[in-house]
Amino acid sequence: MIFNNPDNKSLQDGMVAAGSALKNPYIDLYHWVKGELYDLEAVKDAIKVRADTLEKIRNLESKKSSTQ
């Protein structure tokens, strides 16, 4: 009855305020790492698309030279 005592409203308000003021720092770290992983995935995809495009260009150039 210490925390729920109606006569001790200041303690109860202080506990609610302290609990809402606390923040888990690992949540921010999680979101930061998640964003970095998305950035790395985007770079990996861009490199893959570039390599595929260069391969298609080489194939078309070789086809063009063999046709001539």
| Angle of CA points 52, 58, 61, to nearest 5° | 140
User: Is the whole model's pTM more than 0.75, yes or no?
Assistant: no
Residue 43 lies in a domain: yes
SS3 string, the chain, reads: CCCCCCCCHHHHHHHHHHHHHCCCHHHHHHHHHHHHHHHHHHHHHHHHHHHHHHHHHHHHHHHHHHHC
Residue 49 lies in a domain: yes
Overall number of domains in the chain: 1
Residue 52 lies in a domain: yes
Give the integer Cα–Cα distance in Å for 19 and 12.
11
% of the chain beyond a pLDDT of 90: 57
The residue range of the domain holding 30 is 24-67
Tens digit of pLDDT for each residue in 31-58? 999 999 999 999 999 999 999 999 999 9
Is a pLDDT exceeding 60 seen at residue 1? no
Residue 13 lies in a domain: no
Residue 50 lies in a domain: yes
Give residue for tokens 């305020």: 17
